[in-house]
Amino acid sequence: MSETKNIMDYETVALDENGPAVVILDQTRLPGRTELIRLTTAQQIWEAIYLLKVRGAPAIGVAAAFGMYVLSEGIETEDYDVFLKEFQKQKEYLDSARPTAVNLSWALKRMEQVVLSNRDKSVEQLRSLLRREAIAIKEEDIRVCRAIGEYGLTLVQPGDGILTHCNAGQLATSKYGTATAPIYLGQEKGYHFRVFADETRPLLQGARLTAYELHSAGVDVTLICDNMSAMVMKNGWVNAVFVGCDRVAANGDTANKIGTSVVAAVAKRYNVPVYICAPTSTIDLETATGAEIHIEQRPAEEVTEMWYRERMAPEGVKVFNPAFDVTDHDLIAGIVTEYGIAREPYTESLREIFRKKQEAQASEL
Ligand code: MRU
């Protein structure tokens, strides 16, 4: 890493210009080391997603989309049916890397649709259309995050205290982040937010990533342990909570990083509004309620020994390590999307958001 380059100058996920490869910033190394890695095989891409080298719902979607383009370059056939079969096999494999963030299957379906709706094209043409679609998914992500930032900014005042959990920042997206987008846009306007970043056990995305990127960007950020949010809220230091999400159900129940529902329950106690920053790609109207969301379980070692110089739990102890929890919709003050802010009742307001999206897309054609 060049000494002068700021972490904010790096791309979370990119396509290698020198040949078919996905280039990611290895987030498991941050903040200590800034390493870019090239992914060229399905197994490398799968592992990068599973091991959280690339993570955050939108970034996973972009990585999977670039991944499918890269893998399509390696499918050696001129026959459409053979190409489709192999493409779908690789797609299913990548889709199995992480179950909760809907953006993964959303982006993979979009890529598959390119192949399915261009049966008349040559394999060479299909590859070039896939490349174009993956780039479009990334560019959309930037526009969507900025729009979420603009809507989110209407919910806070200059000087406000904002608490966030996990990392729904630039490192989790292509730019701006979702939960951090109002913070970065506020900074552009000279607002002086005071941000509290939960460290986010067990994988420390808040400490390693959110505190790092906000601090590097010059935002006033204070790192707290997860069990301190009640105290900072009780002290009156927090005016709003902004968090990201991995899947929003049709009724507004929201899966996000484990611990989010605790923050929301505490925020309710202290009358602090909780806003979920959600690209429509993370809203899953086919999932009726949070009870239907598949919550990823992760290895016990993440809790017992990872990050510690020596193991910090007795050998053989039972460990429960869900990566996400569901915040009930009645704890959520609003869901901030790129098409506006949805409020209770979410079953209606989220459908209205999708109606706006359809209208916007129709007028673009
Ligand atoms: O396990 P992670 O680090 O991928 O979890 C990430 C989160 O929970 C984020 O809040 C969510 O994906 C939104 S990122 C804009």
pLDDT tens digits, one per residue of 70-106: 999 999 999 999 999 999 999 999 999 999 999 999 9
Looking at ligand 1, which atom is closest to the CA of residue 177? 15
**Which residue from 211, 266, 258, 221 is spatially nearest to 241, judged by alpha carbons?**
266
Cβ of 276 closer than 6 Å to ligand 1, yes or no, is no
Please check whether residue 197 is in contact with residue 162, taking contact to mean a CB–CB distance below 8 angstroms.
Answer: no
Residue 1 has pLDDT above 70, yes or no: no
Cβ of 248 closer than 6 Å to ligand 1, yes or no, is no
Cα-to-centroid distance, 268 and ligand 1 (Å): 22
Residue 4 has pLDDT above 90, yes or no: no
Structure tokens at 187: 């900074």
Q: Give the pLDDT of residue 365.
A: 78
Please, what is the average pLDDT of the chain?
97
Cβ of 256 closer than 6 Å to ligand 1, yes or no, is yes
Query: What pTM value is reported for the model?
Result: 0.97
Cβ of 205 closer than 6 Å to ligand 1, yes or no, is yes
Structure tokens at 120: 């008349």
CA-angle at 256, arms to 254 and 262, nearest 5°: 90
Can you state the angle between helices 123-153 and 102-116, rounded to 10 degrees? 140
Cβ of 58 closer than 6 Å to ligand 1, yes or no, is yes
Cα-to-centroid distance, 256 and ligand 1 (Å): 6
**Which residue from 243, 344, 328, 333 is spatially nearest to 290, judged by alpha carbons?**
328
Distances in Å between the alpha carbon of 235 and those of 199, 226, 231? Answer: 19, 16, 6
Cα-to-centroid distance, 58 and ligand 1 (Å): 8
pLDDT digits (tens, 9 = 90+) for 329-358: 999 999 999 999 999 999 999 999 999 999
Cα-to-centroid distance, 199 and ligand 1 (Å): 13
| Omega prior to 202 cis, within 30 of 0 | yes
Q: Give the pLDDT of residue 2.
A: 47
